[in-house]
Amino acid sequence: MKIGVIGIGEMGGTLARRWCEKGHTVRVANSRGPSAVTPFADAIGAEAADVYGAVGGSDVVLLAMAFPVAATLPRDLFSQARDDLVIVDTSNYYPDMHDARISEIDDGMPESVWTSRQLGRPIFKAFNSIMFYALSELGKPEGSSNRLAIPVAAIILGKIRRYEPRNRHGI
């Protein structure tokens, strides 16, 4: 699978590394252009890109940045992307901690709806309820007992489907 990863900090960097290990074709980007991500890309076997390069031709794009950053991405970032591109967003809104307040969300708009409106595309909200180290350290092979699971929320074919977490810890 061709996967673009935008944001290569704790979440994006961890998932990019894991997906490279699994044999996917991964392109990674941050806000500072391909040269800034080349050392990391070389270290994990990914390709360095800018944000457009991470989107173009990808089957899946992972957004792994602070929540408000979606509003600052180029407006045309997804205009040439395939119609069935899956955009996965890891972000969580942390008002008064490290994110400025966003009035629409404070007034009740779901975070994923706000992000979708910034991008002009629907998103899958996933990986936002698990810490990055669990993704790199706590995975178990298929068939093992007590494997981790994550909730995924998305609007698919116009219908809202809810994926219930297995227990109150969301795993």
Residues interacting with ligand NAP, by CB under 6 A?
6-12, 30-32, 51, 64-67, 69, 72, 90-92, 128, 131-132
Least distance (Å) between residue 126 CB and ligand NAP? 10
Least distance (Å) between residue 170 CB and ligand NAP? 11
Q: How many CB atoms lie within 10 A of CB 138?
A: 13
Question: Which residues pair with residue 89 across a beta bridge?
Answer: 63, 125
Least distance (Å) between residue 2 CB and ligand NAP? 18
In whole angstroms, what is the distance from residue 91 CA to residue 68 CA? 9
Q: Which is nearer to ligand NAP, 80 or 92 (CB)?
A: 92
Q: What is the DSSP string of 77-122?
A: TTTTS-TT-EEEE-----BTTTB---HHHHTT--HHHHHHHHHTS-
Least distance (Å) between residue 157 CB and ligand NAP? 27
Least distance (Å) between residue 112 CB and ligand NAP? 12
Contact 29, 10 (CB under 8 A): no
Q: Which is nearer to ligand NAP, 64 or 86 (CB)?
A: 64
Please, what's the largest Cα pairwise distance for the chain? 45
Q: Which is nearer to ligand NAP, 131 or 138 (CB)?
A: 131
Q: Which is nearer to ligand NAP, 114 or 132 (CB)?
A: 132
Q: Which is nearer to ligand NAP, 77 or 86 (CB)?
A: 77
Residue among 92, 93, 89, 90 nearest 102 (CA): 93
